[in-house]
Copies of this chain bind each other. A is one copy, B any other.
Amino acid sequence: MPKIIVEVMPKADLLDPQGKAVAGALGRLGHSAITDVRIGKRFELTVEGEVTEQILADVATLADEIFSNQVIEDVTSIRVEEAQA
């Protein structure tokens, strides 16, 4: 069955405390090449049957209204992943 992948990230201009904490830890561990870390969410939606335009439109609405908090997050991508044969 095909999957729809929805990716949600913190808004670029907002502080990402979790990301900052990880970035700080990486710096202390000597990974100085990594200058910033941002942590978001990845949704894998399994779809019964074919992914129609209507389903994609519904998922875009769901992504805005349920999967992300529009005040602090952006939906950065929605893509279809066909089932591995």
At the interface, yes or no: A79 with Cβ under 8 Å from chain B? no
User: Which residues of A (50-71) have their CB < 8 Å from a CB of B?
Assistant: 55, 58-59, 62, 66-67
Asked whether, in the complex, the Cβ of A45 is within 8 Å of the Cβ of B37, the reply is yes
Contacts of A59 in B (CB 8 A): 34
How many copies, total? 2
At the interface, yes or no: A15 with Cβ under 8 Å from chain B? no
* Size of the chain A interface, CB-CB below 8 angstroms: 33
| Minimal Cβ-Cβ distance residue in B for A55 | B33
The 10 closest A-B pairs by CB, nearest first: A36-B46, A38-B44, A42-B42, A40-B42, A35-B48, A34-B45, A35-B46, A33-B48, A33-B55, A33-B47
